[in-house]
Copies of this chain bind each other. A is one copy, B any other.
Amino acid sequence: MSIRDLARHLDISIGTVSRALNGKADVNQETRERVLEAAKRLGYVPNQSGRSLRQGTTNTIGFMIESTIETVDTGGSFFMPVFEGVQSVFRRHHLDLVALLCGTDEEPAAYLNRVVARRFVDGLIISATTRHDPRIDFLLERKIPFITLGRSETTGDYPWIDLDFEGVATAAVERLAGLGHSRIAIAVPASDINLGYIFLDAYKQALAANGIAFNPDYVFRSYANEEGGYQIAGAVLAQRQTPTAIILVNENMALGLYRRFYESDIHPGRNIAVIGFRESIQSRFLSPTLTCFRISLRDLGIKLAESLLSTMPAYEEHYPHEKVELIWPLELVPGESDQGEL
């Protein structure tokens, strides 16, 4: 069922059918109705390839995520709500969202190159930005509309939204310092992902602001998942002078950390203060309850989508052009994990 079939069926030209379907003004109202009715009845939907080839647009937005060893087990619980938010915006504009899954064994930049060159999508949301991210240069050069979820040192004129790691680090250090802690450790991802650098810097600044000397031995690096938390807890316990508190930058680390501590009969909140990162279904289940930070991922998705569209000329009427560079706040959720006596 092509547009040609439909036109033949109605005994009018394909040009008129096309115009009718696309809501052009110069078509007889009666004709339009006939066309729409027939299209619906016969189940005609335009072939996207033909359309894309002619118009140079696909009506599809890609959200690139990497199924790394770190995210494969747990990343979904972060991204699904974000997707849901993104999609709720796109639906209004007849845009489809596809998740572009860059596999473990492929270079993100190479994957992106292929996606873009094949004209798969009109725009992109990319996540897990690295300190220096070649994808950004590439997309800027190709003039593909995009937004990043995460900051990068790679400069240029592009929109981004990132979580407020500074705010989290500051609030966490201040809270712990206020409770009398000075041996405050931090757990960051071992990878080149930018948030690790940002979080570490903010942590250092917050330490300084609270008159606490920075101790490089208190920076622990591992996978940003449960296993990483487990490893870090082990490393913490192996220190000569054990920290009295630890701040995590990933929600999944908390699970492994708790587990490893329990194995050594160390109780968060009693023997060591713990501040987790994002509140999640899992974290709400930890005992003692985890002090962590709340964020609406769906709202984040909505803002990501709206910000991306605001950079695309075709959607200027709905979303006035603005370059978004946004730090997304998180809200402290006090728990028991950092409330023990020192």
Q: A49-B58, A91-B106 are in contact. List 12 more A-B contacts (CB 8 A).
A: A49-B53, A67-B83, A67-B87, A72-B80, A72-B84, A73-B81, A76-B79, A87-B101, A88-B103, A96-B115, A255-B285, A258-B285
Task: Tell me if A180 counts as interface (CB < 8 A to partner B).
Answer: no
Bound-state CA distance A258–B45 (Å) is 49
Bound-state CA distance A81–B74 (Å) is 9
Whether the Cβ atoms of A48 and B119 lie closer than 8 Å is yes
User: In the complex, what residues of B have CB within 8 A of residue A74's CB?
Assistant: 77, 80, 281
Task: Tell me if A157 counts as interface (CB < 8 A to partner B).
Answer: no
Q: Mark A96-108, 1 if CB is under 8 A from B, else 0.
A: 1111110111100
Given A48-B120, A119-B47, are A91 and B103 also a contact pair (CB < 8 Å)?
A: yes
Q: Mark A243-268, 1 if CB is under 8 A from B, else 0.
A: 00000000010010011000000000
Given A101-B83, A103-B87, are A117 and B45 also a contact pair (CB < 8 Å)?
A: yes
Chain B residue nearest in CB terms to A88: B103
How many A residues face the partner with a CB closer than 8 A?
Answer: 55
Bound-state CA distance A166–B53 (Å) is 49
User: In the complex, what residues of B have CB within 8 A of residue A104's CB?
Assistant: 84, 88
Task: Tell me if A43 counts as interface (CB < 8 A to partner B).
Answer: yes
13 residue pairs A–B, Cβ–Cβ below 8 Å:
A48-B119, A49-B49, A49-B52, A72-B80, A72-B84, A76-B80, A77-B77, A87-B101, A97-B101, A98-B99, A226-B281, A285-B285, A285-B286
In chain A, residues 283-341, which have Cβ atoms closer than 8 Å to a Cβ of chain B?
A: 285-287
Chain B residue nearest in CB terms to A281: B226
Given A73-B281, A282-B282, are A43 and B117 also a contact pair (CB < 8 Å)?
A: yes
List of 5 A-B pairs having minimum Cβ-Cβ separation, nearest first: A76-B76, A45-B117, A99-B99, A48-B118, A49-B52
Task: Tell me if A71 counts as interface (CB < 8 A to partner B).
Answer: yes
Contact among B87, B105, B258 for A88, CB-based, below 8 A: B105
In chain A, residues 139-164, which have Cβ atoms closer than 8 Å to a Cβ of chain B?
A: none
User: In the complex, what residues of B have CB within 8 A of residue A80's CB?
Assistant: 67, 71-76
User: In the complex, what residues of B have CB within 8 A of residue A106's CB?
Assistant: 91
Chain B residue nearest in CB terms to A80: B76
Task: Tell me if A114 counts as interface (CB < 8 A to partner B).
Answer: yes
Given A84-B67, A114-B45, A285-B258, are A91 and B105 also a contact pair (CB < 8 Å)?
A: yes
- Tell me the smallest distance from the CB of A110 to a CB of chain B, in Å: 11
Highest count of chain B CB atoms <10 Å: which of A71, A97, A286: A97
Whether the Cβ atoms of A46 and B285 lie closer than 8 Å is no
Q: Mark A218-248, 1 if CB is under 8 A from B, else 0.
A: 0000000010000000000000000000000
